[in-house]
Chain A
Amino acid sequence: DGGITQSPKYLFRKEGQNVTLSCEQNLNHDAMYWYRQDPGQGLRLIYYSQIVNDFQKGDIAEGYSVSREKKESFPLTVTSAQKNPTAFYLCASSMGPRADGYTFGSGTRLTVV
Chain B
Amino acid sequence: KQEVTQIPAALSVPEGENLVLNCSFTDSAIYNLQWFRQDPGKGLTSLLLIQSSQREQTSGRLNASLDKSSGRSTLYIAASQPGDSATYLCAFNTQRSSYKLIFGSGTRLLVRP
Contacts and interface: CB of A to CB of B under 8 A. Distances in A.
Contacts of B31: 98-99
Contact of A98 (B32, B41, B46, B102): B32
A99 B103 CA distance: 13
Contacts of B93: 98-99
Size category, A interface: 20 to 34
B45 A109 contact: no
Size category, B interface: 20 to 34
Interface in A43-72: 43-45, 48, 50, 56, 58-59
B42 interface: yes
B45 A41 contact: no
A106 B42 contact: yes
B43 A109 contact: no
Nearest to B108: A40
B44 A99 contact: no
A100 to B, nearest CB: 7
- Please classify the interface of chain B as helix (H, G, I), strand (E, B), loop, or mixed, using the class held by over half of its residues: strand
B104 interface: yes
B49 A43 contact: no
B44 A42 contact: no
A102 interface: yes
B99 A107 contact: no
Given A105-B43, A107-B41, A100 B32 contact: yes
Nearest to A43: B103
21 contacts: A35-B103, A40-B9, A40-B105, A41-B105, A43-B44, A43-B91, A43-B103, A45-B101, A50-B99, A97-B99, A98-B32, A99-B31, A99-B34, A99-B98, A99-B101, A100-B32, A100-B49, A102-B34, A102-B101, A105-B43, A106-B42
Interface of B: 4, 9, 31-32, 34, 36, 41-46, 49, 89, 91, 93, 98-106
